[in-house]
Amino acid sequence: MSEYIAPCDCRRAFISGFDGSAGTAIITEQKAAMWTDGRYFLQAAQQMDSNWTLMKMGLKDMPTQEDWLVSVLPEGSKVGVDPFIIPADQWKRMSKALKSAGHVLVPVKENLIDAIWMDRPQRPCKPLMTLDLSYTGVGWKEKIAALRAKMVERKVLWLVVTALDEVSWLFNLRGSDVEYNPVFFAYAVIGTDTIRLFISGDRMADPSTREHLLLDSALEAEFKIQVVPYESVLTELQAICVGLSPKEKVWLSDKASYALTEAIPKAHRYLTPYTPICIAKAVKNTAETEGMRRAHIKDAVALCELFNWLEKEVPKGSVTEISAADKAEEFRSQQNGFVDLSFATISSTGPNGAIIHYKPVPETNRALSGNEIYLLDSGAQYKDGTTDVTRTMHFGTPSAYEKECFTYVLKGHIAVSAAIFPNGTKGHLLDSFARSALWDCGLDYLHGTGHGVGCFLNVHEGPCGISYKTFADEPLEAGMIVSDEPGYYEDESFGIRIENVVLVIPAKTKYNFSNRGSLTFEPLTLVPIQTKMISIPLLTQKEVREVVDGGEQTHSKGPKDPSLVALPSF
């Protein structure tokens, strides 16, 4: 249920051949069907054989999984699912639909794919990395204490931590069990005076980890960590629940698996969309924001080196989307504290740029040239922090239309970056600011404008963001970090996106919302934006000021967007 998964969890790819990042396979005695979205219609059709029916989600009259099951199942069927890989709310919906048609959804304890997957890879169990206070700002004992204060406030006795990045953040540990996300397979269950960490292998044998977690120290009992095998989380949770008195509650995210949710009797469940860890993790402290700043300096150095290299090499005709992405990784990996990329690099030129989640593969790999726009959306994990930046550039002469579109996107990017808003504002309310200049000319883009960004953690994290698609996001507050990435995509022609990672900071305003407080953004990204793509006459005086001096004249903040201050140099 994570965004990035380990090879041992790629069960759908094993059974169907289709390895896109989104898809659900349903297999009956006679049929096999695959639901996926528009990004993957082509790829899924190519990768799957004729045994499979492709269900193109979003197309009109395409049956839902529930409707399809009801239409093909013989009367009184049982539908099985691994309860650890289905969220509780999805279970509930599907179970209800099947029940009303006379069928039943049942949890299958042994995963049936695993039963036939002979060469299934081992679950990764890579060494852990400990982060000291200079990176985290707050020790894990302090985090646990603050968490327990929240538990007391909500009158819950236990909290189950299921999201991998939440476990990593809570204990100031990092791992490399999956690609791109520096996390490790684990659960945690926090009681009012106990801490259970569910983790596999002999990772706790490492002396620095033992020391970090104070496993061998004399310690107040309530901070003593019990290390428990990963696989026993369900039975331990069940045992905890057996001991509960009436009205005693267990806190769990409503996005947790059916297996864990169901282990807690309904009367004892306390479900919220976001755990207190998720919310605390989103608000970065000084050590974390300073780390993010260091990471973004390194990242900008690497990308400046790349751009310099591209300007020299592209005219020779030897650079492709894949080699440019590799070179970006090479320059980044030379930076101090580099750990990994933060996601699969989107390196796309010409028509490939219009595929929003494009990842170059040999079959689609295209040479960069002086005739096409090049879009690079990439980022890295440094021990200090996480980066995610998109720049769009041209190595020849962009057309007037390309410059026009780019400038509208830039105007939207500036509008969000320069936005001032009251404390307590939810990010989705800022989404239209990014679109206004595009809308005025009848252009739009069909993705959100920003996502939360972790600090040496997941590049996509909740609970905040800037997207018209969401509503239940948490309000933005100073210390949160999100991306600002409007775009424009012309099908079969080009893609444009300008993305900075920005930090929510207090703003100085004339009237300060009756002391409610004012917020704005400060860009952390320092990578230059290519000036030749800008149609200067389309910028307002205010936008030019915002670009050049950080809007000093309209409100008294520091320089607004250092990447734009650096504009003339690229």
Where along the sequence are the contacts to a copy of itself (CB under 8 A)?
Answer: 100, 267, 419-422, 426, 429-433, 435-436, 439-444, 468, 471, 509-513, 516, 518, 554-555
Which DSSP letter does residue 380 get? E
Q: What phi and psi values does residue 242 have, to the nearest 5 degrees?
A: -60, -35
To a copy of itself, the closest distance from the beta carbon of 489 in angstroms equals 10
Q: What phi and psi values does residue 506 have, to the nearest 5 degrees?
A: -65, 145
- Between CA 260 and CA 82 the distance in angstroms is 12
Quote the tokens at residue 325. Answer: 């992405």
- Between CA 36 and CA 531 the distance in angstroms is 39
To a copy of itself, the closest distance from the beta carbon of 316 in angstroms equals 36
DSSP class per residue in 534-561: --GGGS-HHHHHHHHHTTTTTS--S-S-
Q: Which is nearer to a copy of itself, 149 or 267 (CB)?
A: 267
Helix residue spans in 321-447 (DSSP H):
321-333, 400-417, 431-440
To a copy of itself, the closest distance from the beta carbon of 427 in angstroms equals 11
Q: Which amino acid is at 503?
A: L
Is the peptide bond preceding residue 463 cis, with omega within 30 degrees of 0?
Answer: yes
Cα-Cα end-to-end distance for the chain: 41
To a copy of itself, the closest distance from the beta carbon of 96 in angstroms equals 11
Q: Are 272 and 166 in contact (CB under 8 A)?
A: no
Q: Which is nearer to a copy of itself, 63 or 139 (CB)?
A: 63
**96, containing H or E segment:** helix 88-100
To a copy of itself, the closest distance from the beta carbon of 430 in angstroms equals 7
Q: Which amino acid is at 435?
A: R
Q: What phi and psi values does residue 339 have, to the nearest 5 degrees?
A: -115, -45
To a copy of itself, the closest distance from the beta carbon of 326 in angstroms equals 34
Q: Which is nearer to a copy of itself, 305 or 404 (CB)?
A: 404
Question: Could you tell me which residues are beta bridge partners of residue 79?
Answer: 105
To a copy of itself, the closest distance from the beta carbon of 499 in angstroms equals 21
Contacts of 157 (CB under 8 A, 6+ apart): 151, 191, 192, 244, 248, 249, 250
Q: Are 396 and 533 in contact (CB under 8 A)?
A: no
- Between CA 57 and CA 64 the distance in angstroms is 8
Q: Which is nearer to a copy of itself, 249 or 298 (CB)?
A: 249
Q: What phi and psi values does residue 135 have, to the nearest 5 degrees?
A: -95, -40
- Residue position matching structure tokens 């003593």: 224
Q: How far is CA 317 from the centre of its chain?
A: 34
Q: Which is nearer to a copy of itself, 239 or 472 (CB)?
A: 472
Q: Which is nearer to a copy of itself, 100 or 371 (CB)?
A: 100
To a copy of itself, the closest distance from the beta carbon of 209 in angstroms equals 43
To a copy of itself, the closest distance from the beta carbon of 424 in angstroms equals 10
Q: Which is nearer to a copy of itself, 15 or 415 (CB)?
A: 415
Q: Which is nearer to a copy of itself, 182 or 448 (CB)?
A: 448
Q: Which is nearer to a copy of itself, 1 or 420 (CB)?
A: 420
Q: Are 382 and 457 in contact (CB under 8 A)?
A: no
Q: Which is nearer to a copy of itself, 81 or 419 (CB)?
A: 419
Q: Which amino acid is at 286?
A: T
Q: Which is nearer to a copy of itself, 116 or 439 (CB)?
A: 439
The size of the chain, in residues, is 570
To a copy of itself, the closest distance from the beta carbon of 411 in angstroms equals 13
Three-state SS at 127 = coil
To a copy of itself, the closest distance from the beta carbon of 370 in angstroms equals 26
